[in-house]
Amino acid sequence: MNPSGPRVPAPSAPAAGAEPADAARTAPPPAETPAVPSAGQAGPPGLPGLPGLPGPPALGASALPARTFEGAVALVTGGGTGLGKAIAAEFARLSAHLVLAGRRAEPLQRARDELDQLGEGGRVSAAVCDIRDPERVAELFDAAEAAFGLPGILVNNAAANFPVPAEDLSPNGWRAVVDTTLTGTWFTTREFGRRHLAAGTPGSIVNIGASYAWTGGPGFAHSAAAKAGVKSLTESLAVEWGPYGIQVNGLVPGLFPHEDMTGDIRAGLDRAAPGPRDRRQPALRTGLPREIGWAATFLTSPYARFITGHTLVVDGANWQRRALVSPEVVPVREQLGRGPFRD
């Protein structure tokens, strides 16, 4: 499960207006969670002698050749914070031109400054865009084309989420999440697809999903329903648009703690799972943001051209975990610290 994202979408944002980054930037590279122990080191407290899955290579490494995306344009929604920024960083390291889209100008500007330091020949632009509005989405693509040319890669990372018992979920809360996570993903995907079909050019789409698209998500009924729609959309469009050279894949992160995780999501995790998270993962560790970035760059690279309609789960097998005996049922209201239901 990846219950990350803004608590609720902000009111409609100004029209998109991508601007190429200035040549000189002074911001340091994005910070990341400290590296986990590598193979052979002690496992989490209470599990001595079990190493878990090894940690990944250092930040800045890549499995793909240098300049794999030289000349390519990647548009990442929700690219100003969290996993979206981590994904964008890996494209920057491989020389892609980047268009970061999001709801708020300030984090987009910070991300643009940071990622511009990582570029290996690519440039970075940022655009404020409310993806729930198809006209703003069209303006986003117009601005991207004016800056760099038609994006050949689209990463649909933008989403909204907050934990809530289903009976407490208001109609506005439902719409806030579904309109961003599912409808917004559709609007950006549709614009990308139509432009490539008109131009007769190939393209690659990665839709960020969640494992509760398969299992359901108690406490996140709105997000789980939306992500199930995104998964279905991924599979439908892979077949429809494959003949035109457009790949459509899904990418599901597991637990990837990061500095931009919203307070309510973090508080919910702390309440439900106090103490070290590592012991709750079959891998005996959580993910590092760069690992989801590597997966996204692979799926859109020339080395994955025959992969489409697939959803890649990067979670250390956590979503498949089952206990020999199921734990006692704890109602969602109790897990979220809510009192008895009152109409």
Query: Distance between CA atoms of 70 and 21, rounded to whole angstroms?
Result: 17
Is 212 annotated in the active site?
Answer: yes
Q: If you count them, how many residues does the chain have?
A: 343
Asked whether 251 and 291 are in contact (CB, 8 A), the reply is no
Query: Distance between CA atoms of 114 and 102, rounded to whole angstroms?
Result: 16
Q: 283 vs 40, 138, 213, 286, CA distance in Å?
A: 14, 42, 22, 7
* Annotated catalytic residue within 91, 162, 192, 212: 212
Strand, coil or helix: 207: strand
What's the first-to-final CA gap in the chain, in angstroms? 30
Q: Supply 314's token pair.
A: 């990067």
Which residues are bridge partners to 249 per DSSP?
Answer: 206
Active site amino acids: 212
